[in-house]
Structure 1
Amino acid sequence: MKIRRHYLALRNAFPDISEDTPLDITVQELADLLTCTHRNMVLLLKRMQQEGWLVWTPKKGRSNRSTLIFTASRERVILEEAQEMVDKQNLRSALDLLHTENSSTGIRGQFQDWLSEQFGFHSEIQGQRRMDILRFPLPQTIHSLDPAAIHFTGESHLVNQLFDGLVRIDYKGQSVLPHLAHAWEADAARTTWTFYLRKGVRFHHGRDMHSGDVKYSLERLQRMAQRGLYSWAYAGIEAIETPDDTTVRIHLAKRNEAFLPFLATNRASIVPQDFCEAAGGDFGLSPVGTGPFRLAGKEQGIWVLEAFPSYFQGRGFLDRVEVWSLPEGEQHDASAPLPAFQVMHNARMPDMEENWRQVRQSGMTCKFITVNEEKEGPLTNEVLRAAVDEALDRIYLLELLSGDVIEGGDSFWPQLEETAARPLPKCVNDVKQQLVNSGYRGETLILATIPQYEFDARAVQEVCRRAGIQLDIRLLPAEEFKGETRMSADLLLFAVMLDEHRELRLIDLFKSMQEHAMPDVKNWMDDKLEHILTESNASERARHFVEMETMLKHRHSLLFLYRKHLKTAFHPSIRGISLESLGWVRFRDLWFIPSGTDSE
């Protein structure tokens, strides 16, 4: 409401005047503050008094000083204005208002509490139809929903709701299952893969999917994301044939046992050629797929997904999902009660929340540091790398990070991890002496990571500072971190998701690590990766993976930090919970017990 902005401008002009304190002033002086006419100012004062924000006692004559008493605090009016903006689904403007008005921590807390109550499940009656709606916050900015261009978990999750791939993989990562393709086969050399598509699968814009869309999607991925996630998998595609509308034949340059699992990732989602080419660079903001939900709108940071009635696996229970993408730092305090969210991802539930249920997912993230051995500097000395590894006191690091989902870890394969306890860290003075003996002379080392891992980087910086190592943190956008820019750093802070796509993610990681490895190590890793990509036995592949990480640990080129388990908390009123590896729910499967119904 514009009138609130006028009141805030007046209130901000007199910061030393408290509420209920009389102020002698003329109408013209107030008009000058708002850059309006005398007549308009009189009308504004009348309106503000009707709203109960002030008391205005006028005195006749333009030069006579009247009495103004503010009765509404600026915090109250800011909160009301922000709430009204949210009611109009203008979340970004509400958050901008709170920041530009330099609102207090208290008012921001009140707004967050109020905002929390807006999330969760509710129903609306529209005519004769009940609309079931789920609204939830996403503490990220969504940059793109193009499968070829996504970088973050929130974007990835929404892509999973909007798109499908040829195949899918079970949550344990053990079986590849049919999806858009109902069957497939490979030749004896396993370099030619033939997929048979389901008939009648429709895109959101109304056209049936055919083999040309599959060919286009994979060739587009090769063009657009030559250095993207799993690029080594689709770079090996030599040719794609489409003998008919429901048959796709893919020829690989060489055998790749990870190719079929790659097709189960959302990176290999199928997009419609006609719509994609027409949309051009805007496809990521107006995506069209075959998934259980279609994008219906995206205003002011609120992304609206509607159930796609023609979905080939059946329509979902929910009618609409509203994803409110909150900028980083605006998320709800995870330690506070959560009365109305219904579903919370990666939440730490307080003990008093006995009505909520928690599930610890099988997937987890693993944080670690790698050494850039390609860079000339002190870390080319393996003795110094060992001293830095020793200086990274993991026990102290976990204390700084804290959390019931964080644990120490020394492998990407927890089930194969050695049971022997890691040696206790040395005292700080012993570590400092080891650093001196290794030749370290206090040089500043550069630690590079992406902005999302800044908190982890700061904790590592503090642990190193205590041991006498000077770290300079460089935060690089995700695209730059994948490129050559990171090669100027001494240390790189990474994370990898250990879920059903673990093998794909680790291949991607090790290929990235090869870029800053010594030539002999790079060649050795090449040989190991070749064995993995041609090995059909999962146990043998795991053995090669463990051998690679063991060698890198012994060289002190791979420094494990910790693992973080994924948790999802949900209210018992929810039914149909189907949890993906990242701890996200599949919206299609959700339905809710109406209020007042016994949910046990």
Structure 2
Amino acid sequence: MKIRRHYLTLRRAYAHVQEGASVEATTQELAELLACTHRNMVMLLKRMQQEEWLQWQPKRGRGNRSLLTFIAGADALMLQEAQELVHKQDLQGALAIVQSAQQSASVQVRFQQWLAGQFGFHSEVQGNRRTDILRFPLPQTIHSLDPAAIHYTGESHLVNQLFDGLVRMDAKGESILPHLAHAWEVDESRTLWTFYLRKGVLFHNGRELSSSDVKYSLERLRELAPSGLHGWVYAGIASMETPDDTTIRIRLAERNEVFLSFLATNRASIVPQDACDAETGQFLENPVGTGPFKLAGHEQGVWVLEAFAPYFQGRAFLDRVEIWTLEEAEDRLMAPELASFQLMHNVRMSETASEQWQQVRQSGMTCKFITVNELKHGPLANPSIREAIDLAINRERLLELLSGDVIEEGISFWLHQESATPDGMKQSDPTSVAEIRVLLAEAGYNGEKLVLATIPQYESDAALIKQVCAAAGVAIEIRLIAAEEFKGKSRLEADFLLFAIMLDEHRELRLVDLYKSMQQHMLPAMYRALDDQLQSILSEADPQQRKALFLQIEEELKRAHSLIFLYRKHLKTAFHPSVRGISLESLGWVRFRDIWFT
């Protein structure tokens, strides 16, 4: 409440005065501190006396000095204020108050412990109706829930709850199943795809899905994100026809054997034309899909999803999901009171906590790597210097610095040697620093500073690369580029790029994306060769043959030291034994529709 904030303003102004001690101040000084009139200042101080937060002994005349005695501690009131804001779902305001208590670490710790207790599963009973709510923290900012504009994993997961595609992947990520389309067929040339839509599927605004929405959604992608994720797929659509409300024919300019896989991604989610066209910017604020949950609102960092009762695959067991974005929160906020959470993604646990929770290690993982900008004139144009720097990146030291139970060295985007080395694949023993310095000198490297570009989310990874390279005499400058701009021309000013790829059921799509991106900073001969190889992959129906072709590309890039592997991180999802119905989707996230609690 406001009166509490006024008291905290006074305590900050007289922070040197202890509780129980007194300080003199004129009424004019107090009015200026509280940014109000003399009359309102008097009312505020009397109210604070009633709350027994302070004692005030006024003296007549504006120039005379009144006596203030503080009784209530600022920490307790600050904590109460932050808690009240959380109950009002003003999470960002609460965090701002707590972070303002820089001299009082106890306030931050106590707030973190209290906030952890607000997460997890809750039931609210009103009359005979029980409302089941799942509330969980997300240490990211949600910039958009428009399938055409998402960039981050948290956004991607929420889009999966709000939208559907024509098809979907099975739980193992091995085959594609019907979804909004109940059936499809392809002609002999494998360029004409015909999809038959389910009848009676409703958007969150109550309108029935039609084939024109599918056509519009794919056309919208080409318009809004021509160079976005998997943009080469929808750029290859030559034409689309909708002979009736439940049929759509899509003709590709060329055969593409991963086209169906693309339609199973949330980038290809179907959106309603009327909602998107209704008003500029409206869809960004209120995205409308056909998914199991609909967006009920988002304010002050809290995103609220409500179960969509008419969902064509059955209503979710949960009634509401609240996602509290905690961009400014420290990592420790995510784990102090594990018993208060029911679901956690990629959280490291103590040995004791691991015994109490069930953990699922996903088949998917992230793999971090470096690619070289071969078009830039500089030291890295020399393959021998690239090779020496590859050796200078001591993976064993990197893993020590990372120190995670899900981190291991990676040498490939494919786990074809995993069975032989279950503890992780390793290259040959690291070359000594002295030997690397000799190799660098012989190759002509004279200590020039090299620019390593990456996105802000990978800044800590880049710092580790800089640290291990410095030990070998390689100077690196880190340059951060926003994720939405990383595919642009600004990255081509760097010597090399640090990025990551998700190795999941859409691995083939992601690898084609990566290699097409790498073509932008390749020499012409390699560009043309890679183009031919990618075309062979997209024309190959046999998955094993496609894998062999991918491995061929990978080995060529590794031999040229244009692609430098670093490490990979397995995904883990932990859940409390009270959680039932766990089923996992891409990126190791739980599908909210399926879970329920005992």
Instruction: Return the TM-score normalized by structure 2.
Output: 0.96
Does the 8 Å contact 1:408/1:562 carry over to 2?
A: yes
Q: Which residue of 2 aligns with 1:598?
A: none
How far residue 25 of structure 1 moved from its aligned partner, in angstroms, is 3.3
Q: Which residue of 1 aligns with 2:384?
A: 383
Q: Deviations over 1:470-522 (max 9, x none)?
A: 11111101121111110000010010000011111111111111111111111
Q: Which residue of 2 aligns with 1:170?
A: 170
How far residue 26 of structure 1 moved from its aligned partner, in angstroms, is 4.0
Q: Does 1:456 align with 2:457?
A: no
Does the 8 Å contact 2:116/2:336 carry over to 1?
A: no
How far residue 59 of structure 1 moved from its aligned partner, in angstroms, is 5.3
Q: Which residue of 2 aligns with 1:566?
A: 571
Does the 8 Å contact 1:27/1:62 carry over to 2?
A: yes
Return the alpha-carbon distance in structure 2 between the equivalents of residues 562 and 68 of structure 1. Answer: 61
Does the 8 Å contact 2:101/2:108 carry over to 1?
A: no
Does the 8 Å contact 2:137/2:334 carry over to 1?
A: no
SS at match of 1:323: strand
Q: Which residue of 2 aligns with 1:590?
A: 595
Between 1:180-189 and 1:295-304, the stretch displaced more is 295-304
Between 1:284-293 and 1:351-360, the stretch displaced more is 351-360
Q: Which residue of 2 aligns with 1:125?
A: 125
SS at match of 1:376: coil
The 5-angstrom pairing of residues 426-505 of structure 1 reads 426-505=431-510
SS at match of 2:521: coil
Q: Which residue of 2 aligns with 1:90?
A: 90
Between 1:571-580 and 1:100-109, the stretch displaced more is 100-109
Q: Deviations over 1:403-436 (max 9, x none)?
A: 1111111000023468685111122222222211
The 5-angstrom pairing of residues 114-193 of structure 1 reads 114-193=114-193
- Read off the aligned partner of 2:276 and give its amino acid letter: C
Return the alpha-carbon distance in structure 1 between the equivalents of residues 213 and 445 of structure 2. Answer: 57
CA change 1:34–1:329 in 2 (3 A) is closer
How far residue 54 of structure 1 moved from its aligned partner, in angstroms, is 1.9
Does the 8 Å contact 1:349/1:569 carry over to 2?
A: no
SS at match of 1:414: coil
How far residue 68 of structure 1 moved from its aligned partner, in angstroms, is 1.8
Q: Which residue of 2 aligns with 1:271?
A: 271
Does the 8 Å contact 1:137/1:331 carry over to 2?
A: no
Does the 8 Å contact 2:294/2:306 carry over to 1?
A: yes
Does the 8 Å contact 2:99/2:108 carry over to 1?
A: no
- Read off the aligned partner of 1:267 and give its amino acid letter: R
Return the alpha-carbon distance in structure 2 between the equivalents of residues 216 and 179 of structure 1. Answer: 18
CA change 1:191–1:332 in 2 (3 A) is same
SS at match of 1:503: helix
How far residue 332 of structure 1 moved from its aligned partner, in angstroms, is 4.3
How far residue 299 of structure 1 moved from its aligned partner, in angstroms, is 1.1
SS at match of 2:280: helix
- Read off the aligned partner of 1:435 and give its amino acid letter: L
The 5-angstrom pairing of residues 103-118 of structure 1 reads 104-118=104-118
SS at match of 1:149: coil
Q: Which residue of 2 aligns with 1:350?
A: 350
Return the alpha-carbon distance in structure 2 between the equivalents of residues 329 and 386 of structure 1. Answer: 40
Return the alpha-carbon distance in structure 2 between the equivalents of residues 542 and 208 of structure 1. Answer: 40
Between 1:179-188 and 1:16-25, the stretch displaced more is 16-25
Q: Which residue of 2 aligns with 1:575?
A: 580
Between 1:51-60 and 1:113-122, the stretch displaced more is 51-60
Does the 8 Å contact 1:362/1:581 carry over to 2?
A: no
Q: Which residue of 2 aligns with 1:523?
A: 528
Return the alpha-carbon distance in structure 1 between the equivalents of residues 259 and 392 of structure 2. Answer: 40
How far residue 31 of structure 1 moved from its aligned partner, in angstroms, is 2.4
Q: Deviations over 1:105-130 (max 9, x none)?
A: 43222222211111110011133311
How far residue 203 of structure 1 moved from its aligned partner, in angstroms, is 0.3
Q: Which residue of 1 aligns with 2:412?
A: 411
Q: Deviations over 1:7-47 (max 9, x none)?
A: 12211212221222222334443223323333322221222
How far residue 339 of structure 1 moved from its aligned partner, in angstroms, is 1.9
SS at match of 1:20: coil
Does the 8 Å contact 1:171/1:500 carry over to 2?
A: no
Q: Does 1:37 align with 2:37?
A: yes
- Read off the aligned partner of 2:10 and give its amino acid letter: L
How far residue 464 of structure 1 moved from its aligned partner, in angstroms, is 1.0
Q: What value does the CA root-mean-square deviation take over the aligned residues?
A: 1.7
How far residue 99 of structure 1 moved from its aligned partner, in angstroms, is 3.7
How far residue 330 of structure 1 moved from its aligned partner, in angstroms, is 4.1
Does the 8 Å contact 1:237/1:252 carry over to 2?
A: yes
CA change 1:62–1:147 in 2 (3 A) is closer
Does the 8 Å contact 1:170/1:500 carry over to 2?
A: no
Return the alpha-carbon distance in structure 1 between the equivalents of residues 7 and 586 of structure 2. Answer: 50
Q: Which residue of 1 aligns with 2:296?
A: 296
Tell me, which stretches of 5 or more residues in structure 2 are unaligned? none
Return the alpha-carbon distance in structure 2 between the equivalents of residues 522 and 307 of structure 1. Answer: 48
Return the alpha-carbon distance in structure 2 between the equivalents of residues 405 and 29 of structure 1. Answer: 58
Return the alpha-carbon distance in structure 1 between the equivalents of residues 367 and 41 of structure 2. Answer: 61
SS at match of 1:318: coil
Does the 8 Å contact 2:195/2:249 carry over to 1?
A: yes
Q: Deviations over 1:139-172 (max 9, x none)?
A: 1111110001100000000000000000001243
Q: Which residue of 1 aligns with 2:254?
A: 254
Q: Which residue of 1 aligns with 2:548?
A: 543
CA change 1:105–1:462 in 2 (3 A) is farther
Q: Which residue of 1 aligns with 2:13?
A: 13
SS at match of 1:222: helix
Tell me, which stretches of 5 or more residues in structure 1 are unaligned? 594-600
Between 1:399-408 and 1:416-425, the stretch displaced more is 416-425
Return the alpha-carbon distance in structure 1 between the equivalents of residues 430 and 184 of structure 2. Answer: 52
Between 1:501-510 and 1:7-16, the stretch displaced more is 7-16
CA change 1:135–1:421 in 2 (3 A) is closer
How far residue 64 of structure 1 moved from its aligned partner, in angstroms, is 5.2
Return the alpha-carbon distance in structure 1 between the equivalents of residues 196 and 280 of structure 2. Answer: 28
Does the 8 Å contact 1:334/1:348 carry over to 2?
A: no
- Read off the aligned partner of 2:589 and give its amino acid letter: W
Q: Deviations over 1:306-354 (max 9, x none)?
A: 0000000000100000111121544544553412111000011111223
SS at match of 2:428: coil
CA change 1:99–1:335 in 2 (3 A) is closer
Return the alpha-carbon distance in structure 2 between the equivalents of residues 63 and 29 of structure 1. Answer: 9
Q: Deviations over 1:168-211 (max 9, x none)?
A: 01243321100000000000000000000000000000000010
- Read off the aligned partner of 1:479 and give its amino acid letter: E
Does the 8 Å contact 2:113/2:336 carry over to 1?
A: no
How far residue 283 of structure 1 moved from its aligned partner, in angstroms, is 1.3
